[in-house]
Amino acid sequence: MGVYDIEIDGIDGSPDLLGSVKGKAALFVNVASKCGLTPQYTALEALHEELKDKGFSVIGFPCNQFGGQEPGTESEIVQFCSETYGVTFPLSAKVDVNGTPQHALFKQLNETADGTGHAGDIRWNFEKYVIDRNGQVVARFAPTVAPDAPEVREAIESALA
């Protein structure tokens, strides 16, 4: 089963957020508004804008599990993202990415190891997963790896092929 077969609501309450991007390559990122890594939103939005016409989407998954760095309501998150970073890519409803209750999507995503061999729980905000058009995870990157780093871009280009 690919990740696009797992249901998760959009931040606006719409059902089946992933169904709207099924068949596209994507970069899934657990995000937070009050994190030292929050400025990554700039590069995430730039990637989304640059590659969306090629069948690519960034998708953000707001999570408050790391230092309480996503404390806002869903409407506050949308407002922050759009006003501060001009975010146009889809966001999910707030989600738990680790522990209990961990969303089924992240149970599947977290099985993938990154380039250092780390699999399992997400370490912090802005962990990244590259998804191919078939909904398979093809790469995972640590939070501190920039969204536009050469290795991330290479994985995205491969997923788009």
Taking all residues of the chain, what is their mean pLDDT, rounded to a whole number? 96
What value does the mean pLDDT take over residues 16-45? 96
Running DSSP on this structure, what letter comes out for residue 19? G
pLDDT of residue 108: 95
Q: Which of 2, 19, 20, 35 is catalytic?
A: 35
* Per-residue pLDDT at 119: 96
Task: Encode pLDDT of 131-156 as tens digits.
Answer: 999 999 999 999 999 999 999 999 99
Residue 112 has pLDDT above 90, yes or no: yes
Can 35 be counted among the known catalytic residues?
yes
Beta strands 128-131 and 25-31: pairing type? Answer: antiparallel
Hey, where are the domains in the chain? 3-160
**Would you state the pLDDT for residue 1?**
75
Domain 3-160 has CATH 3.40.605.10: no
Q: Are 81 and 89 contacting, i.e. CB atoms less than 8 angstroms apart?
A: no
